[in-house]
Structure 1
Amino acid sequence: MKSLGSIRRSFAPWNDPEARPYIVFENVTKRFGDFTAVNDLSLDIYEREFFALLGASGCGKSTLLRMLAGFEEPTSGRILLEGQDLRGIPPYRRPVNMMFQSYALFPHMTVEANIAFGLKQDGMPKADIEARVAEMLKLVRLEQFARRKPHQLSGGQRQRVALARSVAKRPKVLLLDEPLGALDKKLREATQFELMDLQQELGLTFVVVTHDQEEAMTMADRIAIMDKGQVMQVATPAEVYEAPTSRFVADFVGNVNMLEGTVAERSEKTATITGASGARIVVENAGDAAAGSEVAFAIRPEKIKVSSRPPAAGVPNVMEGEIWDLAYLGDMTVYHVKLSDGQVVKASALNSARITEDQLSWNDKAWISFAPDAGVVLTR
């Protein structure tokens, strides 16, 4: 069986019918007055999973996290952790810890004092606290900064202190609300991999809230795409990108071309879609699209080939147009090709060679083509 995209690890308990979810949101609704932040949502998260809640501002992802942490209670429905209903259990008695975007470090305390704070509140013996703090400092590679105050640290170092303090109490679940939002792009990218490595080393369940698609795609084992308080799709990063189940998900994650049309012919393996311009698209990933139905064909820019010459006879899914715009980005070139019906299709080509043989420029005639399995048919 061929897999979609690259596989970071073989961990996939959601495919095991015998596996029991670690965290369960069961028909959860949360209202604030007349506003419904989370609407009859059900979701399963598994032990040791790195799970991401991804969506635009106001979609309900942070509210979901706050209910799991105990800062909010569901209006209706249940949240279970290891089979235990969390309703009525205050935040400080839940086996979860939350790391906020602001980090909320105590400015007057040293790094080691910040990490030790929660352990002292729990009454842990002094010797055990010292050992645990030393362990956490080593884990986040901040041993030499133990006596510094937060203002003497970089943004990335403060983020590590907050992370060390969050995991020092050994929670069963670590909740991260936009944890990398305050870091610059380069540091954010490096820290994403550090978080992934740390999560696997600790063996904890991580649930992260983010609006950054690249962040979710990089770190998470699975992603829940949210919109208006509901989950639109739950899948691995590769499945969300390569096999979206709706126009919303396809459009929300990455760049995509959406070609609307009608299913003219349907067989067991393929479907033929005709568009407004009369172009015929042969597709293998047609799902349950029936003949005569109105559908969208979603295809990513990197799956489309652009050429200054017509492809050889017999090549499927060929359309003629002209270069409407283009951008050279160094590692790739992005083309905007205007088809005969006026629709502009985006295509991207990797610049694997320093010198381009097939040079295309503005207003040049061009042909686009793609394989039958390059995109997916969407019925909703």
Structure 2
Amino acid sequence: MPARRPPPGCRCPRRLSGQGEVFKAVANIDVGPVRRVFAPWLDPKAKPFIEFRNVTKKFGTFTAVDDLSLTIYEREFFALLGPSGCGKTTMMRMIAGFEDPTVGDVLLEGQPLAGVPPYRRPTNMMFQSYALFPHMTVETNIAFGLKQDGMPKAEIADRVAEMLKLVKLEPFAKRKPHQLSGGQRQRVALARSLAKKPKVLLLDEPLGALDRKLREETQFELTDLQQDLGMTFVIVTHDQEEAMTMADRIAVMDHGRIVQVATPSEIYEQPNSRYVADFVGDINIIEGKVERCADGHVTLNTPHGTIEAAYEGDIAKGSDAWFAIRPEKMRLTLDEPAEAHRNCIAGEVWDIGYLGDMSIYHVHLGDGVTLKSAQANTTRLLQRPISWDDRVWLSFDADAGIVLTR
């Protein structure tokens, strides 16, 4: 039986060679719903491939990147995620050499990049607009950078053929960009970026011009390609789903600073702040006061009732805290649960969003707050027992959400 790829969304096992015993140990570390064997950031002996050391970048009086430090490892698919204006593209441009830090250093393989022009850096950048030459064919677009470098014609022909095969565009070699679909143009731009075989491929919102279905398909193609090539990819995106699907790790950014760096499952399940929790995915956040914190649990008094949640740490009684829980982890029932005195909130269904595989229920509470509950549609729509204006109960387990203190 031929070998099969891991299922979509599963990034293990990676094709590893010579990574040492540390990865055998890391393979048994559970960091969420996905087990990984590729985790050099867990190895204290691993050396960063790309490193930002206390980097600040200013444009006049505006600070785009603010005293930022970050490490990215070889063969990692790393995502810089954040809203427009948070500094993620500026960081990528500093790696590429299009911008220089105002303060601090950017290093590649331990060597400072200061003073090295873009064309001498072992990096290549793929832009959202693709920037293909309209008068050139697919193969001449891919060959352009190789010709500029003075590569012999025979080698160029071999490399172009290799890239066309890699992105599955061999039948389209003689076509021009206007004769291609959006997805095919995206592949041409990718092949051109990879043709020079850079050590780092920088992707600036590379899938933004594609429709949703094609974008989802291309996300998995990119991850497969990156694994096959064993290359370091750094992607800039504001699309959380895109980052969660493709990246080994994500850096969530806000106003020129990195708020959290972690794997997709850790970012989703263990956000370190309300900003990260709210930015990545849909979430309900309930404010309360700490009544008790002991024995691995914290009790919160909220306007909607008592919440008891798992919490490893210590919070002083009377402190402000927030309970964050994803909609899919909230049970929704017409009947009051047996333990309604805790982790149970009553409300009224004000709206229902039907998404096919699931429905999102907007439950309005008495004080104007609305919580969301995501329920799988295991029965036909006409048989759904909960509808608009119904009095319902939201309930959840103590470990279904996370307590945040900032």
TM range (shorter): over 0.9
Judged with a 3 Å threshold, the aligned counterparts in structure 2 of structure 1 residues 149 and 355 are, in CA distance, closer, same or farther, namely closer
Q: Deviations over 1:169-209 (max 9, x none)?
A: 11000000000111111111111111000101111000000
Residues 1:180 and 2:229 aligned together: no
| Residue identity opposite 2:358 in structure 1 | M
| Residue identity opposite 2:194 in structure 1 | V
Judged with a 3 Å threshold, the aligned counterparts in structure 2 of structure 1 residues 288 and 236 are, in CA distance, closer, same or farther, namely farther
Residue 270 of structure 1, CA deviation: 0.4
Q: Which runs of 5+ in 1 are unaligned?
A: none
Moved more, 252-261 or 282-291: 282-291
Residue 302 of structure 1, CA deviation: 0.5
Residues 1:360 and 2:386 aligned together: yes
Q: In structure 2, how many angstroms separate the alpha carbons of the residues matched to 1:83 and 1:253?
A: 32
Judged with a 3 Å threshold, the aligned counterparts in structure 2 of structure 1 residues 140 and 315 are, in CA distance, closer, same or farther, namely farther
Residue 4 of structure 1, CA deviation: 4.9
**Aligned positions of 1:143-292 closer than 5 A:** 143-277=170-304, 279-285=305-311, 287-292=313-318
Q: In structure 2, how many angstroms separate the alpha carbons of the residues matched to 1:358 and 1:19?
A: 53
Judged with a 3 Å threshold, the aligned counterparts in structure 2 of structure 1 residues 151 and 356 are, in CA distance, closer, same or farther, namely closer
Residues 1:74 and 2:101 aligned together: yes
Judged with a 3 Å threshold, the aligned counterparts in structure 2 of structure 1 residues 305 and 197 are, in CA distance, closer, same or farther, namely same
Residue 220 of structure 1, CA deviation: 0.5
Moved more, 330-339 or 254-263: 330-339
Judged with a 3 Å threshold, the aligned counterparts in structure 2 of structure 1 residues 151 and 8 are, in CA distance, closer, same or farther, namely farther
Of 111, 129, 137, 1:102 maps to 129
Moved more, 79-88 or 314-323: 314-323
| SS of equivalent residue, structure 1 residue 134 | helix
Identity percentage of aligned residues: 66
| SS of equivalent residue, structure 2 residue 197 | coil
Q: In structure 2, how many angstroms separate the alpha carbons of the residues matched to 1:328 and 1:128?
A: 54
| SS of equivalent residue, structure 2 residue 150 | coil
Judged with a 3 Å threshold, the aligned counterparts in structure 2 of structure 1 residues 346 and 39 are, in CA distance, closer, same or farther, namely same
Q: Deviations over 1:110-149 (max 9, x none)?
A: 1111111111111111111111111000000001111111
| 8 A contact 2:294–2:314 mirrored in 1 | no
| 8 A contact 1:332–1:348 mirrored in 2 | yes
Q: In structure 2, how many angstroms separate the alpha carbons of the residues matched to 1:256 and 1:355?
A: 24
| SS of equivalent residue, structure 1 residue 192 | helix
Of 327, 333, 341, 2:359 maps to 333
**Aligned positions of 1:66-145 closer than 5 A:** 66-145=93-172
| 8 A contact 2:50–2:72 mirrored in 1 | yes
Residues 1:23 and 2:50 aligned together: yes
Judged with a 3 Å threshold, the aligned counterparts in structure 2 of structure 1 residues 157 and 8 are, in CA distance, closer, same or farther, namely farther
| Residue identity opposite 2:70 in structure 1 | L
Of 55, 62, 68, 1:35 maps to 62
Q: Which runs of 5+ in 2 are unaligned?
A: 1-27
| 8 A contact 2:362–2:370 mirrored in 1 | yes
| Residue identity opposite 2:266 in structure 1 | E
Moved more, 1-10 or 127-136: 1-10
Q: In structure 2, how many angstroms separate the alpha carbons of the residues matched to 1:10 and 1:216?
A: 19
| Residue identity opposite 2:86 in structure 1 | C
Judged with a 3 Å threshold, the aligned counterparts in structure 2 of structure 1 residues 358 and 36 are, in CA distance, closer, same or farther, namely same
Moved more, 43-52 or 335-344: 335-344
- The aligned residue for residue 14 of structure 1 is 41
Aligned residues: 379
Judged with a 3 Å threshold, the aligned counterparts in structure 2 of structure 1 residues 65 and 161 are, in CA distance, closer, same or farther, namely same
Judged with a 3 Å threshold, the aligned counterparts in structure 2 of structure 1 residues 168 and 2 are, in CA distance, closer, same or farther, namely closer
Q: In structure 1, how many angstroms separate the alpha carbons of the residues matched to 2:238 and 2:44?
A: 31
- The aligned residue for residue 324 of structure 1 is 350
| Residue identity opposite 1:67 in structure 2 | M
Moved more, 125-134 or 79-88: 125-134
Q: In structure 1, how many angstroms separate the alpha carbons of the residues matched to 2:328 and 2:337?
A: 17
Residue 234 of structure 1, CA deviation: 0.5
Q: Deviations over 1:84-128 (max 9, x none)?
A: 000010000000000111111111111111111111111111111
Residue 357 of structure 1, CA deviation: 6.4
Q: In structure 1, how many angstroms separate the alpha carbons of the residues matched to 2:238 and 2:381?
A: 37
Q: In structure 2, how many angstroms separate the alpha carbons of the residues matched to 1:83 and 1:288?
A: 39
Aligned Cα root-mean-square deviation (Å): 1.7
The TM-score, its normalising length taken from structure 2, stands at: 0.90
Residue 18 of structure 1, CA deviation: 1.3
Residue 282 of structure 1, CA deviation: 0.5
